[in-house]
Structures are given as structure tokens and as C-alpha cells.
Amino acid sequence: MRRGKMGFWFRLAVLIVKPWATVLTRRRWSGQEHIPTSGPVIVAVNHISYVDPFLVAHFVYEAGRLPRFLAKVAVFDLPVGGRILRGAGQIPVHRYSADADAALSSAAAALRAGECVVIYPEGTVTQDPAYWPMHFRTGVARLAFLTGAPVVPVGQWGAQHIFGRDRRLHLLPPRVIEFRAGPPMDLSSYALRSDAGGRALREATDLVLREIRQLVGRLREETPPAAVFDPRTPLAVDDDDQHQRSA
């Protein structure tokens, strides 16, 4: 199992997170073999809880990789957690500002250096009432287009029972946390299209969305709803029509 070189802050993060995640959760994981143990890879996962980063990090770490996350810049302002995140090389995202593209540039640089970058394509915890993956931003496809890195889709379920949209922490009894990774996705055919900056970008993003919705459906033993929740509109968007919308 290759994880690469860990610095002090990453080791500290492991010492803090791993014991908690091991004791207070029951893990049902599958598909970790799809995460390559070396070379650039984008891990795209649905976002259902405010504790997602800790649990996803545990999953990716045990698959043999050191995860680099794109996280909201506000998290980096926390007194202790922010110092650990910066020291561990995590990537701050300045949403709705002139610095927003800097995060993608930093993530692309990490991928070109052969690292594993974890991204939540929804950009925030899903607002779908039933916690299904909602409309994806195009950052995951942009990263794949820029670097040629494969995208490993990951579906997760269970973290919302620990700390969901009610913002109440529920540690006991231990919750079942499920992750399922799918085979790597090669988006290079979309990147080579003449419309790679527009329709192709949206179609590639929606391909990742459909795969993650299917993975989540298998974990939940349910069929994903035909309509994808889109927070930009009061009406849900049919999955087959997603490619018609802009980023």
C-alpha cells in the first residue's frame, strides 16, 4: 500500500481522525481497488454531511492514498482545524470571488504532481430533501480536462445520520457508514471535442453525476429519482436533460 510521504500535520490529522472514525462508525466499504495506489486521480464523491471530509479521508487513506481536499475557505479560519488543514496541504476554495479559479489551479498542480485530489462536485452538502446527489458544478470535469487524470466516482451513505442538515451531532450508537467506489472514468474524449469549454464540459460532468447517483442507489437499495434537484430553480431537473444546463 503506497501513500507517499506524510508530513507532521498529515500524521497528526491521521492520529486524530482514524481512531474516532474506527470506534464510532461501522464501515461497509467496497470498490477501494478502483482507486489507483499511485499517479494522479480525482476522487469525486457526493456530499451529505458536515463530517464527510473525515470519513472520506479515512476511506481514501485506507485505499492507500493521501487525500488532498478542496474545502471552503471558511474552514481554514478555524483556530486548530484550519492550521492542520493548511499544514496537511489541503486546498482552500474561495467561492463567488476572483480567487475561485485559484483552487482549481492548485488542484491541477497537485494532480500533475501525481497526487490524489478529492472533490465534492455539488460544492456543498446536498439540498435534495432525501439526500440524493443534486446538480453538479463542472469543477470535476474541468480538472479532468486540464490534467487528463481519471475520475473515480464514489457514492456514500450514512454520514448524514451523524451530522446532517439539522446540524446536531449524533455519535451514539455507532452509525453504519457505506462507501462504494466505481471504476475510473476517462473523460479525455470529451476534452478533445471542439466544444470542450461548453456543452462537452456539461455532458462530462453529468456523466459523473449519473454514475455517482447509481452508486448511491445501490447503497440505499433504491432507484435514484428521475429528477435531479437543482438549487438554482424551484423545479427539479430531469437527469436526461442535465446536459442542457450550463455550469
pTM: 0.85
The answer to whether position 1 is within a domain reads no
The answer to whether position 127 is within a domain reads yes
Residue 125 lies in domain: 24-244
Q: Tens digits of per-residue pLDDT, 72-87?
A: 655 555 544 555 555 5
The answer to whether position 9 is within a domain reads no
Residue 164 is part of a domain; what is its CATH number?
3.40.1130.10
Q: Give the pLDDT confidence score for residue 2 in this predicted structure.
A: 52
CA distance 152 to 213: 13
DSSP 101-144: HHHHHHHHHHHHTT-EEEE-TTSSS---TT----PPPTHHHHHH
Residue 55 zone, left/alpha/beta (φ > 0; ψ -120 to 50; rest): alpha
Q: Tens digits of per-residue pLDDT, 57-114?
A: 899 999 999 888 876 655 555 544 555 555 556 676 655 545 556 668 888 988 999 9
Closest CA to 135 of 241, 217, 219: 241
User: How many domains are there within the chain?
Assistant: 1
Q: Give the pLDDT confidence score for residue 136 in this predicted structure.
A: 96
